[in-house]
Chains A and B, each alone.
Chain A
Amino acid sequence: MIRIFVGSFLAVVFIGGLGLIGLAAGGSRSLNAYLILASLLFAIGMFGFLARRNAISMLMSIEIMLNAVNLSIVAFGGFVKGLGAAASVIALMVMAVAAAEATVGLAIIIAIYRNKKTPLVDEYDAMSQ
Chain B
Amino acid sequence: MAIGETIPFTSIPWDDVLFVVFAGTMLLAAILVVTMKDIIRCGLAMMVCFGALAGMYVIIGAPLVAAAEVLVYIGAISVLVLFAIMLTQTKDAPASLVFQTQAIPAALAAVLLAVITILAIVATDWGALAERVATTTTALAIELFNKWVLPFEIVGVLLLAAVVGGVFLAKRERAEDSEHDGGPAR
Contacts and interface: CB of A to CB of B under 8 A. Distances in A.
Given A39-B118, A51-B102, A51-B107, A78 B34 contact: no
Contacts of B60: 34, 74-75, 77-78
Nearest to B141: A85
Contact of B34 (A23, A51, A114): A51
Interface string A37-76: 1011111111110111111110111011001001100111
Contact of A18 (B27, B42, B127): B27
Contacts of B76: 99
Interface residues of B, number: 98
Interface size class of chain A, counting residues whose CB lies under 8 Å from the partner chain: 35 or more
A78 to B, nearest CB: 4
B170 interface: yes
A109 B102 contact: no
Interface string B160-186: 011101111110100000000000000
Interface string B92-112: 010101111011011101110
B124 to A, nearest CB: 9
B117 to A, nearest CB: 4
Interface of A: 11, 14-15, 18-19, 22-23, 27-37, 39-48, 50-57, 59-61, 63-64, 67, 70-71, 74-81, 84-89, 91-93, 95-104, 106-111, 113-114, 117-122
7 contacts: A33-B19, A39-B113, A64-B34, A75-B60, A78-B132, A80-B128, A98-B77
Interface of B: 13, 15-16, 18-21, 23-28, 30-31, 33-34, 39, 42-43, 46, 49-50, 53, 56-57, 59-62, 64-65, 68-69, 72-73, 76-77, 80-81, 84-85, 87-90, 93, 95, 97-100, 102-103, 105-107, 109-111, 113-114, 117-118, 121-122, 126-135, 139-140, 142-144, 147-148, 151-152, 155, 158-159, 161-163, 165-170, 172
Across the A-B interface, the 5 shortest Cβ-Cβ residue pairs: A48-B34, A15-B24, A100-B162, A50-B106, A19-B20
